[in-house]
Amino acid sequence: MNSDDPALQDLLARIIDGLTGKVLGNAGVLAPVFLISALAIAAAIWWRRKPGQGFFRWAFPREIWFHPSHRTDIKVFLFGGLLSLVATGAGIVSAAKIGAALSSALDARIGLGPETPLLTSPVMVTVVVFLVLDFCQYWAHRLSHDWAVLWPFHATHHSAEVLTPITVYRRHPVDDLVLQVVTWIVTGVVLGLVLGLSIGPVPTAMLGGLSGTYYVFNLAGANLRHSHVWLSFGPVLEHIIISPAQHQVHHSCDPRHHNRNYGQILAIWDWMFGTLYVPRGREDLTFGLSDGQGNLVPQPHGSLGRFLVEPFRGSARVVRRWLGRRKDPSGQEQE
């Protein structure tokens, strides 16, 4: 099918609409419906635990909501909102173009189209695309920890000393760009395969399924992932889905929690690749940046300016170390 075909263009338009809805549903985790759902879940937890203080004092402690780290979160949120929207828009357009090109290439190579679809089940397509996207987000997140040149940018997110729902937006533009590039390239490839192998009503149903998946995820307490409210799904379910408690563990300074629970929605990738941590009970956590022994290091991102500039310096130091390595006559690497 030619990429200029009206039917394909109409399909791509629906893909863009659907992906926009998915992304805004994910990025708009502070939407009133998701905040209300998180508040309702927190109220149920408060009622069950009976912590001995009023609900609002327990849910909105001054030491967290007036903490300097939270003030930095707000500044980054206000600064990064516009940049995030631009990057997301560019990513959606790029994914659509990659999808159209790959779809046309598949049709030209193997002659598939509306008359000969290989993927005909909306459920099958939805599951495949969701799994690939979540797998992609796992590895993009993991690489931001494992690659020394990327870590200084992702460290801005982990430098939060207290967690509130706004902390989800505490991301350096470079860190956000890496995630966007990886996610949307894979999205374009996957959509191209879907378009090439199943033209018809399947993609529309797929997008509805994807949007619904992220909506339910946000509704089920996604805002509690960045909070002081401990919500565990239990050891069985936490091998499948990342709970708010597991993501709080990901932010912990404790060495046994380092490099654990990278998953966005699914925990199966952490389980498969040996990075899963399932808490056996409620744990007391300290947030922020720490060394390999769990000792807190000074906050390097106390202002918006330092938040934006310091990661470039840290990444440049890594690059200089790489470039400064040389081999001595014995063949050993030296600095």
pLDDT digits (tens, 9 = 90+) for 82-117: 666 566 555 556 666 666 666 666 666 655 555 555
The pLDDT tens digits along the chain (335 residues) read 444 445 444 545 555 554 545 444 444 678 888 899 999 999 999 999 999 999 999 999 999 999 999 999 999 988 876 666 566 555 556 666 666 666 666 666 655 555 555 555 667 777 877 888 888 889 989 999 999 999 999 999 999 999 999 999 899 988 988 887 777 777 667 766 666 665 554 555 555 666 778 788 888 999 999 999 999 999 999 999 999 999 999 999 999 999 999 999 999 999 999 999 999 999 999 999 999 899 999 888 888 899 999 999 999 999 999 888 755 444 444 43
Q: Are 173 and 79 in contact (CB under 8 A)?
A: no
Is residue 205 within a helix (H) or strand (E), and if so which, with residue range?
helix 202-219
Q: Nearest 5°: phi and psi at 101?
A: -65, -45
Q: Give the pLDDT confidence score for residue 326 in this predicted structure.
A: 52
Helix, strand, or coil (residue 198): coil
Burial 314-333, CB ≥16 within 10 A → b, else e:
bbeeeeeeeeeeeeeeeeee
Q: Give the pLDDT confidence score for residue 26 in this predicted structure.
A: 42
Instruction: Name beta bridge partners: 326.
Output: 334
Q: Give the pLDDT confidence score for residue 179 in this predicted structure.
A: 81
Q: Give the pLDDT confidence score for residue 90 in this predicted structure.
A: 59
pTM: 0.82
Is residue 334 within a helix (H) or strand (E), and if so which, with residue range?
strand 333-334
Helix, strand, or coil (residue 326): strand
Count CB-CB contacts under 10 A for residue 68.
12
Burial 101-114, CB ≥16 within 10 A → b, else e:
ebbbebbeeeebbe
For the stretch 250-291, pLDDT in tens is 999 999 999 999 999 999 999 999 999 999 999 999 999 999
Q: Are 191 and 92 in contact (CB under 8 A)?
A: no
CA distance 172 to 301: 11
What are the domain boundaries of the chain? 6-49+59-323
Instruction: Compute the radius of gyration of the chain from its Cα atoms.
Output: 22
Helix axes 304-324, 68-110, angle to 10 degrees: 60
Burial 172-183, CB ≥16 within 10 A → b, else e:
bbbbbbbbbebb
CA distance 266 to 246: 11
CA distance 76 to 160: 12
Q: Give the pLDDT confidence score for residue 79 in this predicted structure.
A: 82
Query: What separation in angstroms does the CA of 261 have from each of 246, 249, 279, 296, 335?
Result: 6, 8, 11, 20, 34
In the chain, count H helices and then E strands.
12, 2
